[in-house]
């Protein structure tokens, strides 16, 4: 297993999309309220569902797929790194490795279909991972993707068009070192997603 890397410094980001900034303000209030992770993610899930249902447009440069790999564009990054909101984009046929988050997260689908396979969080680094099931999430649907006690999954584009998700995390996810897993062996490697620009 590689050594846990050090996070890079947070660079604050604000969005030109009024609905995203209003949502970010509400998330900031929830984060500051002291709720435990499960209550916090449930409240953010409900707010994101309402935000998606009301509708908003994202700039084209925040929904553009990369031909080589999935990408995450920063929509809002809190100055203190306490949370971030990303536009996560997978092109047709693209997906992630099996990975964790090291923090809580809520995911809503702006457009397209995201396929998620969940795994039991490993208690040892040398055992194959156990899959818990696969679900499809379509436009407008929202799920709590992770809490620190339950955060291992794999995600891919499930349709014939790119999928664009709104991902909210309890950290600056573009600078946060995270674990990826070999599902067959349980081997762990650390990585950082890094923000697309």
Q: Which pLDDT tens digit goes with each residue over 50-88?
A: 999 999 999 999 999 999 999 999 999 999 999 999 999
CA 139 – CA 108 distance, rounded (Å)? 8
Percent of the chain whose pLDDT exceeds 70: 96
Q: How many CB atoms lie within 10 A of CB 149?
A: 9
Quickly tell me which residue has 């674990």 as its tokens: 179
Instruction: Spell out the alpha helix ranges (H) of 33-155.
Output: 37-54
CA 158 – CA 153 distance, rounded (Å)? 15
Q: If pLDDT is split at 50, 70 and 90, which confidence band does 124 have?
A: confident
Strand pairing class (98-99; 178-181): antiparallel
Q: Which pLDDT tens digit goes with each residue over 80-98?
A: 999 999 999 999 999 999 9
pLDDT the model gives residue 53: 98
With the CA atoms of 76, 6, 36 and 150 taken in that order, what torsion angle do they form, in degrees rounded to the nearest 10? 100
pLDDT the model gives residue 7: 65
55 contact partners, CB below 8 Å, separation of at least 6: none
Q: Report yes or no: 13 and 196 within 8 Å, Cβ to Cβ.
A: no
CA 89 – CA 3 distance, rounded (Å)? 29
pLDDT the model gives residue 156: 97
Return the percent helix, strand and coil in the chain, to nearest 5. 20, 35, 50
Quickly tell me which residue has 């490795």 as its tokens: 97
Mean pLDDT of the chain: 94
CA atoms within 13 A on the CB side of 116: 23
Q: If pLDDT is split at 50, 70 and 90, which confidence band does 6 have?
A: low
User: What integer is the mean pLDDT of 178-185?
Assistant: 94
Q: If pLDDT is split at 50, 70 and 90, which confidence band does 22 have?
A: very high
pLDDT the model gives residue 2: 47
- Tell me which CATH homologous superfamily contains domain 18-173+180-191: Jelly Rolls (2.60.120.10)
Q: Which pLDDT tens digit goes with each residue over 133-150?
A: 999 999 999 999 999 888
Q: If pLDDT is split at 50, 70 and 90, which confidence band does 180 have?
A: very high
């Amino acid at each position: 297993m590689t050594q846990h890397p050090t996070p890079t410094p947070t660079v604050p980001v604000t969005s030109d999309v009024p609905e995203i900034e209003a949502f970010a303000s509400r998330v900031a209030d929830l984060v500051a309220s002291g709720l435990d992770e499960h209550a916090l993610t449930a409240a953010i899930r409900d707010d994101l569902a309402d935000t998606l249902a009301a509708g908003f447009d994202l700039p084209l440069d925040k929904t553009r797929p990369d031909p080589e790999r999935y990408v995450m564009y920063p929509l809002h990054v809190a100055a203190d790194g306490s949370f971030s909101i990303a536009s996560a984009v997978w092109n047709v046929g693209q997906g992630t490795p099996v990975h964790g988050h090291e923090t809580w997260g809520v995911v809503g689908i702006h457009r397209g279909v995201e396929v998620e396979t969940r795994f039991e969080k490993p208690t040892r680094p040398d055992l194959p991972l156990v899959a818990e099931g696969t679900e499809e999430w379509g436009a407008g649907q929202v799920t709590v993707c992770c809490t620190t006690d339950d955060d291992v999954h794999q995600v891919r584009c499930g349709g014939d068009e790119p999928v664009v998700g709104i991902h909210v995390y309890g950290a600056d996810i573009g600078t946060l070192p995270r674990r990826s897993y070999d599902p067959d062996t349980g081997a762990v490697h650390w990585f950082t997603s890094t923000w697309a620009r």
